[in-house]
Amino acid sequence: MPTLGAHDEELLERIHGLRRIAALTGAGISTDSGIPDYRGPDGVWTRDPSAADAFTRKNFLADPEVRQRFWRTYADHAAWHAEPNAAHRALAALDRDGRAVRVLTQNIDGLHQRAGLPDRKVLELHGTMHTSRCTRCGAKTPTPEILARVTGGEADPACAACGGVLQLSVVLFGQFLDADVLGHARNIAAASELFLAVGSSLQVEPAASLCELAVRSGALLVIVNRDPTPYDDQAAYVVREPIGEALPKICAAM
């Protein structure tokens, strides 16, 4: 498949005028905002593979020490202080320009919305870090309120309503994605003219398989990622340029 650089003019010509754009975004789109990715050369789990244990549902529910590590990690996570970068803003600008933009994000940081995309145009496939919920009664609480309890000395805060285990409103390993959200994402992928996969290793299913669904439905697949992915051979173009440079260029071309 062509890569941007030698074939950039060809790609930019092919996408000019396309109106139905879906973007599957992963951790790589937020690294320019100061949020580390997970599987990259300097990723959180690359540097400390044991850190992934806290993101496994079974471990999280069974082990208070795992939960304590999890809450310590998020008490001062970089995402709380991050601002949208050029890539987030490019997708929001494309939407304001009148294109039918939908973002299917694996990220939990909320930066697409902060860049200006309406909530209804962002599907958070893996949930959000901005709320937490009780795994017993389902009560939802703004996460900053939970983290205030952590910094105040509660290493493993329990639900104030029923005493159950609290968890960020995110999908941990071993949990299924919300069926309605996934079904909506599949419909968007199937209806797109251009499907952008941006900053994702495309190793986590079923989100990654949205690429294949889009291609089968006739969309042009463009992967913007630093490292190779399992779906590169299905892409019309693979872009290895930095995301903060490449995505604004691609969006501007439309």
Exposed (0-12), middle (13-18) or buried (19+): which is 120, by Cβ within 10 Å? exposed
- 8 A C-beta contact, residue 97 and residue 91: no
pLDDT of 93? 97
- Tokens matching residue 204: 């986590």
Q: SS3 for 174?
A: coil
CATH number of 40-76+130-170: 3.30.1600.10
- 8 A C-beta contact, residue 210 and residue 125: no
- Tokens matching residue 192: 């797109």
Residue pLDDT, tens place only, 32-88: 999 987 655 554 544 555 666 667 899 999 999 999 999 998 898 999 999 999 999
- Tokens matching residue 120: 């209804």
pLDDT of 76? 85
Which CATH number fits the domain 1-35+84-126+177-254, given the four candidates 3.40.50.1220, 3.10.100.10, 3.30.110.30, 3.40.50.620? 3.40.50.1220
Residue pLDDT, tens place only, 147-202: 999 999 999 999 999 999 999 999 998 899 999 999 999 999 999 999 999 999 99
Q: SS3 for 218?
A: coil
**CA–CA distance, 197 with 180 (Å, rounded to integer):** 21
pLDDT of 53? 65
Cα–Cα separations (whole angstroms), residue 251 to 80, 108, 122, 144: 27, 23, 17, 34
Question: Domain residues of the chain, as ranges?
Answer: 1-35+84-126+177-254, 40-76+130-170
pLDDT of 240 > 90? The answer is yes
Helices (H) and strands (E) counted in the chain, each on its own, are 10, 9
**CA–CA distance, 97 with 43 (Å, rounded to integer):** 34
Task: Give catalytic residues, as residue numbers.
Answer: 126
The four Cα atoms 132, 135, 140, 142 give a dihedral, to 10 degrees, of -20
